[in-house]
Amino acid sequence: MNKICNYFDFAIEEIQRTYGHRVTIGRQALHKFGRNESAGTSEVDIISFGGDPVRSATNSIDSFSSSNAADTQTLRVEGVTISGNDLTFSVQNITLTGQTRGVLATPLSRVTRIANVANTTRTLGSVYVYENTAISGGVPTDASKIGNQMTIAAQSSQFSGTSVTSNNYFLMTNVYAYLEKKQAATANIILRQGQIPYIQREIHSGSVGTNRYMDHDFAPFIIIPPNSDITMTSISDSVGTDIVAGFHGFFADIRTY
């Protein structure tokens, strides 16, 4: 316990020394979990729909719909809005209208989570939050417009990435990855971080296989500065590789007093 406290103290001092901010570490933790059931030989984000989610320079993500016409549940959508290079956390409820496009009350720049958190029934379809585009059966026909997806099976989005807002730092304590089921495959897992508007850079990597997994604790913690995107990607030696990955950490709030 004392060792963990020392890591927090070190992170607080390093943030002030490197970035000039005084921060407070509260009780807000983050656990991100993602899955790509069909990863292939090209680098791709570890996310359920198998593409790369929209990360927009504007608040262009404004739409949602389900792949099943019977869905009318109310879901929670978390994400960030953008102004210049500053990100602000946003959470809102959406009420599904089946396969018919609905409009977000607050358009987003990134969608970090979609979840069915307060219903007694599951959705019968997968739910998409996206930039306004053509849809077929409630599903965007252009996958490059998708901000995130909530799958039928999980009833939550499966995206091993997030964004850090303008008033926070993120202290990453652990990263992990493994193959979901026994497969004759191996994959490289890459952890990337980038502060807007700059490119994302690799900050950690590992490999997973039939009898090999990735599980790394960071000591000291990795410090992710404000207005940053965090992404985990994979490159497999086979098509159709089922990969799970995620990370844990704590938020540190910038003090304004």
Report the C-alpha gap between 5 and 19 in whole angstroms.
Answer: 21
Residue 211 has what pLDDT?
86
Torsion of CA 41, 47, 50, 52, to 10 degrees: -90
Residue 71 has what pLDDT?
98
Q: Which two tokens stand for residue 156?
A: 């939550």
Topology adopted by domain 2-46+161-254: Jelly Rolls (2.60.120)
Residue 257 has what pLDDT?
80
* Mean pLDDT score, 134-144: 98
Residue 3 has what pLDDT?
63
Provide the pLDDT confidence category of residue 256 given band limits of 50, 70 and 90: confident
Side chain identity at residue 69, one-letter code: A
Residue 32 has what pLDDT?
97
* Mean pLDDT score, 142-163: 97
Q: How confident is the model over 20-76, as pLDDT tens digits?
A: 999 998 778 999 999 999 999 999 999 999 899 999 999 999 999 999 999 999 999
* Mean pLDDT score, 74-100: 98
Domain ranges of the chain: 2-46+161-254, 61-150
Q: Which two tokens stand for residue 171?
A: 């202290």
Q: Is the pLDDT of residue 239 over 90?
A: yes
* Mean pLDDT score, 79-104: 98
Residue 2 has what pLDDT?
59
* Mean pLDDT score, 103-116: 98
Query: 256 vs 146, which has greater pLDDT?
Result: 146
Report the C-alpha gap between 232 and 46 in whole angstroms.
Answer: 6
* Mean pLDDT score, 2-10: 79
Provide the pLDDT confidence category of residue 124 given band limits of 50, 70 and 90: very high
Torsion of CA 120, 122, 123, 126, to 10 degrees: 140
Beta bridge partners of residue 229, listed in sequence order: 163, 194
Report the C-alpha gap between 147 and 129 in whole angstroms.
Answer: 6
Residue 116 has what pLDDT?
98
Q: Is the pLDDT of residue 1 over 60?
A: no
Tell me the pLDDT of the chain averaged across its residues: 95
Task: Return the DSSP state at 89.
Answer: E
* Mean pLDDT score, 90-100: 98
